[in-house]
Structure 1
Amino acid sequence: MKKIIGSVFAVIVLIFLTACGGNETQQETKDTTASNYPVTIGNYSKAEGATEWQKKEQTFKKMPERVLVNTRPAAELMLRLGLDKQIAGVGATFGIADELVAKQFDQLNHLGDSYISKEVALSVDPDMIYGRGSLFENEEWGNGTVDSINEMGIPTYVVETSIPGATFNSVYKDIENLGQIFNVPDEAEKFTKELKERQAKLNKKVADIKKEQTFAYLHMNEPTEVLVYSAYGESFFNDAFATIKLNNAFKDIKGDVSIETLIETDPDVLIVPDWSTYKDGVKKEDMIRAILENKKLASMKAIKNKQVYAVDYNYMFGYGYQSLTGMELLATELYGK
């Protein structure tokens, strides 16, 4: 468990450094030689050792048939578009499931419950590698840089949501792009409509909440440990919480945030990760209880008001539509509706 969570935290620290569908019939939609190919999509690349993403187009000569997906949330998006047969393998399978596609996900080729290496990624002979941007690195936990993969003749797609400056609305661009890459525009449009309706409902739910509250995220895997993660540069993460009137108290701080600074800043709400669905993971109730009973934090208003909540890692750092579910659940806990 510590190994998995350690690599998880290493990658989220690195992340801040780090456009048309046709009208074919359903049968034609699944045809890999459909007349709408080749398809060229605007995307991104980051050179090895660089800190800035650059724009880079990706061309798909036909529908990808063997896709390596580097995280669970990215795989679940493909499943929501009916693309289970196109997934050759998925890494980083940890986290809470989208119950609507849980059965399909369980039947996929799982390559590991942690982040996978380039060697493992290539072992499934992919004709596309797709997923979270921070994992496109030539590291033991990375599936290789975009350029190194492209040099092997394999196109890539880095999800828009994982690029600096992203917001939840970036999810819709990812859905649109996947709809083009896999020639499933109708499925993409349908899922976009579903998410936008849910987003509008959530916005309405919190519209009468006049006062924004501040929060701090404590990235912990042991109840006795208190580690503040500022989420500097994590625009998707910060935007998700902002949708339910929570403002990250440390989003402008680059680097470590001490416990003393946490106590002095005294945010209204404390968020801890929910590891309940992880092997050997600490139950969320135990994590919350440990924070509430931590004597060092006793003076904080979040403790006094029992404003400590647990959120699944993939709802926060999965860079996908799943964060909407996380915010819906959290809004209910926060506001009782």
Structure 2
Amino acid sequence: MNKWGKMIGLGLVMMTLSACGSNDSDTAASTSSEAASTYPLTISNFTKAEGGTEWTAKDQTFTEAPKKVLANSQPAAELLLHLGLKDRIAGVGATFGAADASVADEYAELNDLGSDYISKETALSVDPDMIYGRGGLFDNQDWGVGTVDSLNEMGIPTYVQETSVTGATFDSVYKDIENLGKIFDVPEAAAAFEQELKDRQAALEDKVADKEVQTFAHLFMSDPSVVSVYAAQDESFFNSNFEMIKLDNVFKDYSGEVSVETLIETDPDVLIVGDWSTIEGSVSGDEIIQGLYDNEKLSSMKAIKNKQVYALDYNYLFGYGYQALTGLEQLVDEMAK
């Protein structure tokens, strides 16, 4: 298996780990307070036992605004850039997928620790005073930056994105922005970016206001000839994002793996596939879509007959960040053609 194929496989593991658990904190969007932070500052966040699947609440205390942050994914780092925190980012792991063009120049100046998911050793090599990002990557496996507890025992506070824990919705993006605004004492930047996203979300919802709800299924494929369904049963963030544009995951309540036969029998209105073209040597979304159209076994499906198969970049599907909004905007425009 080549490099990008391994990354896709690990991506499935990451999604499973990120999805397990419960989000007990309030993910409802609220207006960011523009009051200056007072340290020591305590933020309610999450932890998960090594080898476990359940996220539980754990407070994180910051004695000052972090100065050397390790972001465990590209989308996580891009969020910090929108808060004006470029000089606070010590390193970024998992630097793959569609980039946010609005912060591309600043991102190019960051310490790129590689396109793979990074290890704890690599994360610690930048001497971070905070490790932050996607929940599924807080693990002691060689693809993880270490568990929350193991890092805290070393005196390193952590922040697990609320978007990457079960129970999340797109409103969890706003909660993350608010919390990061407090941690770094940048409330005005946080409030401004939150409002920008809320305006975009409102415009997107207005655009689909008169549309009927359609069903969809997500095909997580690395080979255009091999159909693989990802039910995303516990992916609350993923599913709520599509609900924003009136697409309902037909398998969100399905138990177990979904066979190709079940996919055909269920016959959703729309199929969504991943676009891996931003990863060197990978298969593109267009190639996967063509493979599905050429697959005789799927020829009876509505989505195939009506040419309702669409591709989105991995970071828009499973980046667990504000970038999902860009993907949804692109999808709505594509479906309107």
**In which range does the TM-score fall when normalised by the shorter chain?**
over 0.9
In 1, are the aligned partners of 2:72 and 2:134 still within 8 Å (CA)?
A: yes
Question: Quick one: distance in 2 between partners of 1:238 and 1:65?
Answer: 35
4+ runs of 1 displaced by more than 4 Å?
18-24
Query: Hey, what's the Cα distance between the residues in 2 that align with 1:48 and 1:125?
Result: 22
Aligned counterpart, 2:318 = 317
Tell me the distance in 1 between the aligned counterparts of 2:35 and 2:166.
33
How far the C-alpha of 1:21 sits from its partner, in A, is 5.3
Does residue 108 (structure 1) correspond to residue 110 (structure 2)? The answer is yes
Long gaps (5+) in structure 1? 25-34
Tell me the equivalent position of 2:90: 88
Residue equivalent to 1:10: 13
The size of the alignment, in residue pairs, is 325
- Residues 22 and 169 from structure 1, CA distance in 2 versus in 1: closer, same or farther, beyond 3 angstroms? closer
Kept in 1: contact 2:18–2:134 (CA 8 A): no
Q: Which amino acid aligns with 1:5?
A: I
2:29 matched to which residue of 1?
Answer: none
The answer to whether the Cα contact below 8 Å between 1:21 and 1:183 also exists between their aligned partners in 2 is no
Which residue number corresponds to residue 234 of structure 2? Answer: 233
CA offset at residue 17 of structure 1?
A: 2.5
Q: Please state whether the residue corresponding to 2:237 is helix, strand or coil.
A: helix
Aligned residue runs from structure 1 range 20-59, under 5 A:
23=35, 36-59=38-61
Question: What does residue 328 of structure 1 align with?
Answer: 329
CA contact (8 A) 1:215 1:246 kept: yes
CA–CA distance in 2 between the matches of 1:103 and 1:9? 30
Aligned twin of 1:29: none
**Percent same amino acid at aligned positions?**
61
**What one-letter code is carried by the residue in structure 1 that aligns with 2:12?**
F
- Taking only aligned residues, the RMSD between alpha carbons, in angstroms, comes to 1.4
Residue 87 of structure 1 deviates from its aligned partner by 0.6
Match of 1:66 among 64, 68, 81: 68
Contact 1:21 1:184 survives alignment (8 Å): no
Q: For the residues of structure 2 that align with 1:16 and 1:197, how far apart are their CA atoms?
A: 28
The equivalent of 1:157 in structure 2 is: 159
TM-score for both structures, normalised by structure 2: 0.94
SS of residue paired to 1:178: helix
Is the contact made by 1:160 and 1:174 (CA closer than 8 Å) also made in structure 2?
yes
Shift of 1:48: 1.2
Which residue of 2 is the match for residue 30 of structure 1?
none
Cα distance in 2 for residues equivalent to 1:52 and 1:206: 35
CA deviation map 1:103-150 (0-9, x unaligned): 111211111112111111111111000000111111111111101100
- 3-state DSSP of counterpart to 2:321: coil
Q: What are structure 2's unaligned runs of at least 5 residues?
A: 27-31
CA distance in 2 between partners of 1:10 and 1:16 (Å):
10
124-133 or 110-119, which deviates more: 110-119
Please state whether the residue corresponding to 2:90 is helix, strand or coil: strand
Q: Partner of 1:257 in structure 2?
A: 258
How far apart, in 1, do the equivalents of 2:279 and 2:256 lie?
27
